[in-house]
C-alpha cells in the first residue's frame, strides 16, 4: 500500500493507493509553519478515516517547497513508520530531461511529464493550473523539453483585487458571457476567459515548436484549478486533476519493479 504526496506552494495533495485503485485522495492547504508532528497527526488522521493507517507501508513524494520536504519525510517516518522516497531530477523517471538546467525544473513538472509519457506514449503537452500556470512539452520518445510558466489564476485574481482600490475579490467562476455588464462579471470574464485565451494561445505556439508537430498532440489538463478552464476550451483533450499523484505512483512502481 502506497501513500503519494505532492507538496505544492498552495496545496498538498495526497493519495492512498491500495495496489489496484486510489482509495482516497485529498487536497490540503500548504502551511509552511507546521511541524513534523502536526503534519504527522494529519496524515494519521486521514489514513485512519479510510482504514489505511496500518496498510500503508511505503510513501513517495515530490516537492517544490524545500523547507517542507524534510518535514513531511520526518512526519512519515515518525507517524507512519515508513521512509518517504523523494523524487527529483536524479530519480529514475522513465523520461529524458532535455532542458538547460535539469536541477532547476520543479519536481512536479517532471512527475507530470513522466505520467503523461507512461500513460499515453504520445507527444503531449501538460497544462497544470495551480499556484502557477504551467505548460510542459513531452515528445513521443519521452523527452521533457521544457515549457512555459505564467502566474496562476488565483494569484492573478488576488493581484487584481489587491492592487486596484475599486475592485474587490470575486468568485472564480465563469460569468454568463464574455461581455461583462457589471464589474463582477467583467472581472470574472477577464480571469476565466482571459486564462482560456492565454492557454489556447500558448498551446498554439508550443504546438508549432513541438518536434512532433505533424502528429496529433495530446493535451492533458491537471491541477487544482483546471476545472475552471477545461469546460471552456476544446484544446484540452484529457483532464486529470490528480495527474501528479498518478505520476508518483507510476514512478514508484518503475523504481521498485
Q: Give the pLDDT band (50/70/90) at residue 54.
A: confident
- Residue after which a domain boundary falls, among 86, 119, 140: 86
What confidence tens digit (pLDDT) does each residue in 24-43 have?
A: 999 999 999 999 999 999 99
- Does residue 122 sit in the same domain as residue 68? no
Q: Give the pLDDT band (50/70/90) at residue 165.
A: low
Residue 236 and residue 220 in contact, taking contact as beta carbons nearer than 8 Å: yes
Kindly tell me if the per-residue pLDDT of 145 is higher than 90.
Answer: yes
How does strand 132-138 pair with strand 124-129? Answer: antiparallel
201-230: average pLDDT: 94
> Residue 82 belongs to a domain with what CATH number?
3.30.420.40
What's the structural domain count of the chain?
2
- Does residue 105 sit in the same domain as residue 222? yes
Query: What pLDDT, on the 0 to 100 scale, is given for residue 220?
Result: 98
Domain membership of residue 50 (yes or no) is yes
Specify whether 6 is catalytic: no
For residue 218, give the C-alpha cell. Answer: 495530446
Q: Give the pLDDT band (50/70/90) at residue 163.
A: confident
- Does residue 105 sit in the same domain as residue 57? no
Q: 22-26, 63-67, 157-161 — which is least confidently predicted?
A: 157-161
- Does residue 58 sit in the same domain as residue 134? no
Q: Which residues pair with 133 in a beta bridge?
A: 129, 150
* Number of Cα atoms under 13 Å in the Cβ half of residue 90: 3
What confidence tens digit (pLDDT) does each residue in 73-123 have?
A: 999 999 999 999 999 999 999 999 999 999 999 999 999 999 999 999 999
Domain membership of residue 58 (yes or no) is yes
- Does residue 220 sit in the same domain as residue 189? yes
DSSP per residue, 10-49:
SEEEEEEE-SSSEEEEEEEE--TT--HHHHHHHHHHHHHH
- Does residue 155 sit in the same domain as residue 220? yes
Q: Which domain holds residue 115?
A: 96-243
Domain membership of residue 248 (yes or no) is no
- Does residue 237 sit in the same domain as residue 111? yes
Out of 6, 18, 108, 158, the active site residue is 108
How many helices (H) does the chain have, and how many strands (E)?
Answer: 8, 11
- Does residue 78 sit in the same domain as residue 180? no
Domain membership of residue 253 (yes or no) is no
Kindly tell me if the per-residue pLDDT of 164 is higher than 80.
Answer: no
Number of other CB atoms surrounding residue 196 within 10 Å: 20
What confidence tens digit (pLDDT) does each residue in 1-21 have?
A: 899 999 999 999 999 999 899
- Does residue 145 sit in the same domain as residue 122? yes
Q: For residue 54, with 0-12 CB atoms within 10 Å meaning exposed, 13-18 middle and 19 or more buried, which class applies?
A: exposed
Amino acid at each position: 500500500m502506497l501513500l503519494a504526496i505532492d507538496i505544492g506552494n498552495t496545496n498538498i495533495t495526497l493519495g492512498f493507493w491500495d495496489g489496484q485503485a486510489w482509495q482516497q485522495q485529498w487536497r490540503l492547504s500548504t502551511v509552511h509553519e507546521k511541524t513534523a508532528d502536526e503534519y504527522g497527526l494529519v496524515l494519521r488522521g486521514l489514513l485512519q478515516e479510510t482504514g489505511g493507517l496500518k496498510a500503508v507501508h511505503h510513501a513517495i513524494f515530490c516537492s517544490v517547497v524545500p523547507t517542507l520536504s524534510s518535514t513531511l519525510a520526518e512526519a512519515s517516518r515518525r507517524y507512519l513508520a515508513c521512509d518517504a522516497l523523494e523524487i527529483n531530477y536524479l530519480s529514475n523517471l522513465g523520461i529524458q530531461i532535455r532542458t538547460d538546467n535539469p536541477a532547476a525544473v520543479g519536481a512536479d513538472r517532471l512527475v507530470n511529464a513522466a505520467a503523461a509519457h507512461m500513460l499515453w506514449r504520445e507527444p503531449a503537452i501538460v497544462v497544470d493550473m495551480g499556484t502557477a500556470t504551467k505548460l510542459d512539452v513531452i515528445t513521443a520518445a519521452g523527452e521533457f523539453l521544457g515549457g512555459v510558466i505564467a502566474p496562476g489564476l488565483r494569484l492573478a485574481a488576488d493581484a487584481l483585487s489587491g492592487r486596484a482600490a475599486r475592485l474587490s475579490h470575486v468568485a472564480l467562476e465563469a460569468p454568463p458571457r464574455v461581455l461583462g455588464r457589471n464589474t463582477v462579471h467583467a472581472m470574472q470574464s477577464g480571469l476565466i476567459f482571459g486564462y482560456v485565451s492565454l492557454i489556447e494561445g500558448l498551446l498554439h505556439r508550443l504546438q508549432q515548436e513541438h518536434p512532433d508537430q505533424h502528429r496529433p498532440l495530446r493535451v492533458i489538463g491537471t491541477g487544482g484549478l483546471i476545472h475552471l478552464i477545461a469546460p471552456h476550451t476544446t484544446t484540452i483533450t484529457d483532464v486529470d486533476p490528480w495527474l501528479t499523484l498518478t505520476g508518483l505512483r507510476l514512478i514508484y512502481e518503475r523504481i521498485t519493479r
